[in-house]
């Protein structure tokens, strides 16, 4: 491999026309800049359950916030708890199944004894 330097001829710089200036978009109107935060609290006392929700979002340069509170039947609360526990159990099961392969096999434990 040769260690000689190769030089290129210099190119001339093209003149820039001010009419071709790029349009600068202000930060508030740029698409893709957004933020969203939500919080939901559900609690039950006696036969009634209550829900409190707050949502804040930043979209298109404006900050919007919404919140509400309400009550509902205890049976609906029990169903929400049952579904949430089922979802959590399914997610935990998937995690444990993926970690199962890192455990030593039962054959290895019997050989050590």
Q: What are phi and psi of 92, to 5 degrees?
A: -65, -40
> Between 30 and 63, whose confidence is greater?
63
Q: Which residues contact 52 (CB under 8 A, 6 or more apart)?
A: 40, 41, 42, 67, 68, 69
Whole-angstrom distance between the N-terminal and C-terminal Cα of the chain? 63
Distance CA 78, CA 44 (A): 9
pTM listed for this prediction: 0.49
pLDDT at 109: 57
Task: State mean pLDDT over 25-51.
Answer: 81
Quick: pLDDT tens for 42-66.
999 888 899 999 999 988 778 899 9
Quick: pLDDT tens for 76-106.
999 999 999 999 999 999 999 998 888 887 7
Which two three-digit tokens encode residue 86?
């089922």
Distance CA 99, CA 113 (A): 24
pLDDT at 78: 92
Pairing assessment for the beta strands 35-45 and 62-73 based on DSSP bridges: unpaired
pLDDT at 10: 77
């Amino acid at each position: 491999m040769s260690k000689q330097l190769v030089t290129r001829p210099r190119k001339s710089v093209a003149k820039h026309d001010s009419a071709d200036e790029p349009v600068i978009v202000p930060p508030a109107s740029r698409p893709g800049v957004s933020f969203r935060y939500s919080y939901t609290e559900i609690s039950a006392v006696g036969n009634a359950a209550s829900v409190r929700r707050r949502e804040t979002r930043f979209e298109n340069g404006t900050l919007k916030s919404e919140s509400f509170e309400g009550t509902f039947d205890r049976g609906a609360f029990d169903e929400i708890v049952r579904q949430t526990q089922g979802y959590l159990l399914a997610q935990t099961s998937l995690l444990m199944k993926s970690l199962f392969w890192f455990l030593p096999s039962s054959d290895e434990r019997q050989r050590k004894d």
